[in-house]
């Protein structure tokens, strides 16, 4: 689930969260009518936890971007040296 949220976040440049917030504001009774009876404090804690997880995903995304960039550059160097890929003869 978290992975799908991350994908949606990246696909929509964060707009998925804006849409979720506006939906939450437009339907305030939806949370109070849940069968589990989650309190507002628990929902706030869940939102805080979600924010922290999203922040970690963004940090990891930056790290992954740097890592993949390095890998692609090294792969390009190997292909160039061996005459493979777009450097094929």
Residues 23-80 pLDDT 10s: 555 544 544 444 455 566 666 678 888 989 999 999 999 999 999 999 999 999 999 9
- Give the integer Cα–Cα distance in Å for 51 and 42: 14
Q: How many CA atoms lie within 13 A of 51 on its CB side?
A: 8
| pLDDT of res. 13 | 77
Looking at the chain, the number of H-run helices and the number of E-run strands are 4, 0
Weakest-pLDDT range from 1-10, 12-21, 26-35? 26-35
pLDDT band (50, 70, 90) for residue 19: low
């Amino acid at each position: 689930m978290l992975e799908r949220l991350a994908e949606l976040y990246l696909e929509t440049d964060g707009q998925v969260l804006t849409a979720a917030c506006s939906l939450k504001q437009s339907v305030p009774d939806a949370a109070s009518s849940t069968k589990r009876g989650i309190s507002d404090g628990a929902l706030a804690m869940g939102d805080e936890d979600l924010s922290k997880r999203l922040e970690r995903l963004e940090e990891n995304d930056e790290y992954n971007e740097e890592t993949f960039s390095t890998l692609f550059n090294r792969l390009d160097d190997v292909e160039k040296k061996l005459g493979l890929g777009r450097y094929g003869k």
